[in-house]
Amino acid sequence: MLLKKNYLRAVLVIAVLGVASFLLGARGGGSSPQLDVFAQCLTEKEFVMYGAEWCSHCQNEKRAFGSSFRLIPYVECPKDPKKCLSAGIDGYPTWLTPDGRRLEGEQGLKKLAAESGCPLAL
């Protein structure tokens, strides 16, 4: 009987820890000093992301940065269409580089690191 109670307690503890771990991990958007450094580097190198709130690929790009996205220069095109049109943006997401290149579509952190030369330590 004692063995059965201990077994049930162990299963319960493991289940609670598993659920807590899942919920914390699923939240995303956490803070990461490494991503802050990477985002700051992109900002210093004058990379700018153009997108739209309703764009799922834009949301994926933002989510990859977590809370570090706050450091990225970002233009919400539906709210500032003149800025996007003058930059020649015709699809989302688009990253504009300091040399005028357009990185169109979802890039991901590794591709942005390669394009920018910014160190990415994950």
pLDDT of 17 > 50? The answer is no
54-103 tens-digit pLDDT: 999 999 999 999 999 999 999 999 999 999 999 999 999 999 999 999 99
Cα separation values, 98 from 44, 49, 54, 82, 87, Å: 10, 12, 26, 19, 12
Distance CA 38, CA 72 (A): 10
Structure tokens at 50: 């153009």
pTM of the model: 0.74
79-93 tens-digit pLDDT: 999 999 999 999 999
Q: What is the DSSP letter of 32?
A: -
The third-level CATH classification (topology) of the domain covering 33-116 is Glutaredoxin (3.40.30)
Structure tokens at 120: 């990415």
